[in-house]
Structure 1
Amino acid sequence: MSNYEEGLQLIEEKFGNGKDNVISLATIAREPGANGMQRPVVRSIDAYYEDGTFYVVTYGKSNKMQQIANNAEVSIAGCLEMFTASGIAENLGWVLDPNNAEIRTKLRTAFSEWYDMANNEKDENCCILAIHLTKGTLNINHWEKLYHMDFVNKTHMENGGIF
């Protein structure tokens, strides 16, 4: 098994299998900071992981979705695991869109304890955000082993990943 495949298996164990994960999502603000430079914005979100993508149910008019509309490049971090990654965010649209039926079912199951309380599916702005991972680093046991992963090319990056 390659380092990439081993890393994928560990990510699946840590985040997959229908789990409700709390991760941090960083986007770029729509307005510059005090110094005129772009500034990051980070928040914790609940996410479902499957096959290199984290899925989130959110509100289409939220600040994060407006920021993503301006710049789809995002970063995430596992709040309880030492995993950081970059990715491309994609608004998959309304949760009740027939194209979202399969992933919606998985999200409703993973988030069953709070899904209906937090989401109004009748509102067409209730949408699914997909975060397609591009590169990431999984840190096992505080630097015992690092998996630097290129999710696009499906390889281990010898020169390091992102931290």
Structure 2
Amino acid sequence: MTNKVQSSGVLDIIQEKFQNDSIVLVVTAKDNVPTVRSVDSFYYQGSFWIVTDLNCNYVKEIQSNPYVMISDGGHNRFWCKAYVTGHPLDVVNKDIREVFLKVFHHWYKEVNNEDIQSVCYIKATPYKGYVHKDKIGYSFNLDEDVVTIADIKHHIDVKLEPFW
């Protein structure tokens, strides 16, 4: 079944799954060689947000090639366009910094020294992807305003219990 993005509920599912402190994988590429790393992130108002440092290799890769993939390490994956929004104390980041402080309240100030000028925020906005919930998969393309919804017929939603 094909729907429009807004009426499909796919954006609500992404918000529900990733609005809190979430470990995600960020994949970048340099000279057609992909690299992946795990980062803390959250999804807010249509984008994934990351606090990091301008000196990190993946930030440099984003600055030269803004197309990244974000995944939860499972089947949920998002093709995004990412960019550095600046230092957390920049005026443009005032509102999102408040969200960072709420979402990462246990560790934000302890881990991020905002006196260091290279601390920065990354905003990664999905333009297409795949997310699942309740044995239903949603393949979406925001640019085309299309979501394909299908029942999942394989192991994607299996919840395994420990055997010990």
The two structures have a TM-score, normalised by structure 2, of 0.81
CA distance in 1 between partners of 2:113 and 2:12 (Å): 34
Q: Does 1:13 align with 2:6?
A: no
The SS at the match of 2:96 is: helix
| Structure 1 gaps, min length 5 | 33-37, 159-163
In structure 2, distance between residues paired with 1:43 and 1:132 = 18
Q: Secondary structure at the match of 2:113?
A: coil
Aligned-pair Cα RMSD in Å: 1.8
Partner SS state of residue 136, structure 1:
strand
> Counterpart amino acid of 1:14?
K
The 2-side partners of 1:3 and 1:130 are apart by: 24
Alignment-derived partner of residue 41 in structure 2 = 47
Deviations 1:49-100 (A, max 9, x none): 1122000000011111111111111001024x63101011110011100110
The one-letter amino acid paired with 1:13 is E
1:153 CA displacement: 3.8
Q: TM-score normalised to the size of structure 1?
A: 0.81
Q: 2:4 touches 2:145 (CA, 8 Å); kept in 1? A: no
Equivalent residues of 1:52, 1:151 under 8 A apart: no
Structure with max Cα Rg: 2
Corresponding residue for residue 22 of structure 1: 23
Distance 1:153 1:91 in 2: 25
1:113 aligns with 2:106: yes
- Residue number in structure 1 paired with 2:158: none
Q: Which of 142, 148, 163 is the matching residue for 2:139?
A: 148
Aligned length: 145
Return 5+ residue gaps in structure 2 as ranges. 150-164
Counterparts of 1:51-90 in structure 2 under 5 Å? 51-79=45-73, 82-90=75-83
